[in-house]
Amino acid sequence: MSKSPIQERAERVLVGGVNSPVRAYRAVGGDPPFIRSASGARVTDEDGKTYIDYVGSWGPAILGHAEPRVLDAVREALGRGLSFGAPTLGEVELAEEVTRRVPSMEMVRFVSSGTEATMSALRLARGFTGRPVIVKFAGGYHGHSDCLLVQAGSGAATFGHPDSDGVPAEIVKHTVSAPYNDAKALRALFASHGHEIAAVIVEPVAGNMGCVPPEPGFLEAIVELCQEHGALSIFDEVMTGFRVAPGGAQERYGLRPDLTCLGKILGGGMPMAAYGGRRDVMQKLAPLGPVYQAGTLSGNPLSVAAAMATLRGITKETYEHLETQGQALEAGLVQALRDAKVRGVVQRVGSMITLFFTEQRITSWEDAKKADTQKFAQFHRGLRAEGIYWPPSQFEAAFLSACHGPAEIEATITAARTALGAP
């Protein structure tokens, strides 16, 4: 199959033709569509084909693409200048709004990406506790900073090995990978290394091995063990923040971590992220404390404007709508699998959803790795042919937006039935 002219041009000047690896479609085959525009629940590519979109810019587009109130806010801010490298009133107002919605975030620091937020939160945790060890969970992705690029573990917790060339072993020797959803393994780890652990970082709803909810008691164990041993609990809510509930997963599950990382929806489609938490911890940051972190474009006024407009646009009715449409999509996909006699599991938390081609419910990375990725690739190509833009990896969650209504859900289920071969 020959490459499109745009793809050929892209591969001459961009590594793999993309600026982020999963966009290259290596997991599903074919060339990615080059998106020209987006509106509501749809995206249109350079060939003029329009798709119903479940990528949603990988999560930020909870209100849909090109939401008028967000665009108006950015245009208004644009008229005042692009960047100042100085404090603005908008930053203060946005911080007040974030701390109101997420009470565990007593103080906030804005940054430009989720990777920057998690990297900085971990540095802060080490600086606050004076300890070296970071615990993450197999299959959890927290950005591409060196200390987090650790090979996914299996079974018992293992000390890290670099999962990328260019990362010295010395960088990850204090990063431990433990099994997701295994509170027993985490307790054993704290029993043997609790005095060394600075923090435990977790996606409270995993989205980077597909949508995998926490088992009852798992998140509670993280928070409790950190409190007991003087470590910090960090909820990476870059994906779940403002999506699965107004206050994120921590509101949905009734927990209060020590630190929280936000991104995606927070920026409303613009580069924006944040980390924040307990006041005594955050006050260890420069200029108040000895832990250094800085950024020229942190709190950029255009991103702040988009963020505030997005948060103001998300209402109680938004979450009710997302839940209703998510339920309808889940039920339709389950029925399509049944009618097609295809083995699969649909997992959903609010407006995050994944269809796994496997026989059993997914609770960990070890489970997720057993999914039939070739079957998923076939399914993905079938959806694309029917005008559905689905994440191009078995291990990425799909997202609904406020613009996905009954017509979009019905069209998606019909397309899924065709892709699965259901009668």
Annotation says 264 is catalytic: yes
Annotation says 258 is catalytic: no
Annotation says 236 is catalytic: yes
- Per DSSP, the three-state class of 178 is strand
Which of 141, 180, 275, 319 is flagged as catalytic?
141
Are β-strands 352-356 and 35-39 bridged in parallel, bridged antiparallel, or unpaired? Answer: unpaired
Which residues lie below 8 Å from residue 73, measured CB to CB, with a gap of 6+?
305, 306, 308, 309
Look at residues 234, 239, 306 and name the one whose alpha carbon lies nearest to residue 272: 306
Look at residues 89, 124, 179, 167 and name the one whose alpha carbon lies nearest to residue 290: 124
Are β-strands 107-111 and 273-277 bridged in parallel, bridged antiparallel, or unpaired? Answer: antiparallel
End-to-end CA distance of the chain: 29
Which of 51, 136, 264, 275 is flagged as catalytic?
264
* Under 8 Å between Cβ of 357 and 344: yes
CA–CA dist 207, 382 (Å, integer): 23
Rg of the chain on CA atoms, in Å: 21
> Long-range pairs for 160-169 at CB < 8 Å and ≥24 separation?
none
Query: In the Cβ-directed half-sphere of 141, how many Cα atoms lie within 13 Å?
Result: 14
CA–CA dist 312, 81 (Å, integer): 23
CA–CA dist 77, 381 (Å, integer): 40
Which of 236, 253, 258, 389 is flagged as catalytic?
236
Instruction: Give me the active site residues, please.
Output: 141, 236, 264
